[in-house]
Copies of this chain bind each other. A is one copy, B any other.
Amino acid sequence: MTGCYPIIGQTWVVYPQTGEPTLIVPAQEAYLAEDCSLDDVRPYECGRIGDPTPVETCARLLRQVCQGKGLVDKAIGYEDSPEVVAPPQAAAEPLFVGQATVALLQEAFGSGLRPADELFTQLKSVKTPAEVTRLSRTNEIACVGLSVFKDEAQPGRRETEVAAAVERAIYSRGVGFKGAFSARAWAQVMSGPNTETAWYYPVSKERRIQPGDLVLIELATVVDGYWSDLTRTVVAGKASDRQREVHQLVLDAQAADLLAARPGARGDEVDAAGRRLIVERGLGDNFVHHTGHGVGFRYHEPRPWLHPDSRQTLVVGHVHTIEPGIYIPGFGGIRVEDDAVVLREGAEFLSHTDFGLD
């Protein structure tokens, strides 16, 4: 929420109720804070032989900041135990808040420290206009990846080859795009019978695409800390009537969900808008998952949740996926997923592609 996406993840922000917030970052990452929303940025040295560990240095800096702002023993909320997190840029080795970090915070801030996870979840679910602009950029870069997917999803290619080509495009074309410091994607491609289970977190396999196969991509993209989550399904060749019919049903459901996603609408109502169409066609049991979830600071956020059991209410600034899918044994799976922002007059998609099913 600071606009600064850490590399190693040893970055801290102290945000007082009144006065300036402070960002503490490794000196080597200070350039990432250049166009973030905070002015008081304090870089610290680390990593050289002889430097204290980041933990020691950060404990000292946090104590300083806390004393400087008169926060000792005041009520300080912190993000305590988010068991699911977004990785930092160094996604091969994420850091997270464990007992050592909590002890460090307690030492710095004193007796007023308390978990505030629910507050953070709420705050993060509503995106500011500036954040929506950043999420649009992420979706724009992700859609470059989707068009590479469309070109690569040809008979004879392996699922892994297609997925790897999409990730490559996003990494190599995304960094520098409209000033982006970083861009990375996780693409999973399933084809033919592998699409039948593409509703679970899927993985790309060695399988070679066959003519007429359904080919589905599940694509996570992160650009400077702003995430998108998109899915497309295409046919490797010309679609059969049945493929076209099921695909159109998914698109119709998605359009109905989008229309229903207005401020004040409940998650179960939005879910029902599209699900109803699928149920009417006798395929209700084949739409096995939720209609959508929050997205933006993470690949999947818990709010808003669009699901038959959801009682959450949409508000302006919510950003969420709309992703109906139909999975039929012996036929395959078709899902289409876009990211939408809830505005005063209704929801709008942040993601767009102009290719069809064939």
Contact = CB atoms under 8 A, between A and B. Distances in A.
Interface of A: 7-8, 26, 28, 47-49, 80-87, 89-101, 158, 160-161, 163-165, 167-169, 171-172, 175-176, 181-182, 186, 197, 199-201, 203-206, 220, 222, 287-290, 298-300, 307-308
B289 A186 contact: no
Contacts of A49: 287-290, 307-308
A151 to B, nearest CB: 15
Given A48-B289, A96-B83, A288-B48, A175 B160 contact: yes
A144 to B, nearest CB: 13
Nearest to A90: B201
A98 B81 contact: yes
Contacts of A201: 7-8, 90
How many copies of this chain?
2
Which 3 residue pairs of A and B lie closest in terms of their CB atoms, listed nearest first? A81-B98, A176-B206, A164-B171
A161 B165 CA distance: 12
Nearest to A162: B172
B93 A84 contact: yes
Given A83-B96, A91-B92, 9 more contacts: A7-B201, A49-B288, A86-B93, A90-B186, A93-B298, A96-B96, A164-B171, A165-B172, A175-B204
B95 A84 contact: yes
Please report whether the interface of chain A is mostly helix, strand, loop or mixed according to DSSP.
Answer: loop
A37 B213 CA distance: 36
A92 B175 contact: no
A42 B200 CA distance: 18
A94 B101 CA distance: 18
A39 to B, nearest CB: 24
A195 to B, nearest CB: 14
B199 A172 contact: no
A81 B97 CA distance: 8
Contacts of A171: 160, 163-164, 167, 204
Nearest to A99: B81
Contacts of A167: 164, 167-168, 171
Given A28-B197, A49-B288, A87 B92 contact: yes
Given A160-B172, A175-B160, A98 B86 contact: no
Contacts of A175: 160, 204-206
Nearest to A186: B92
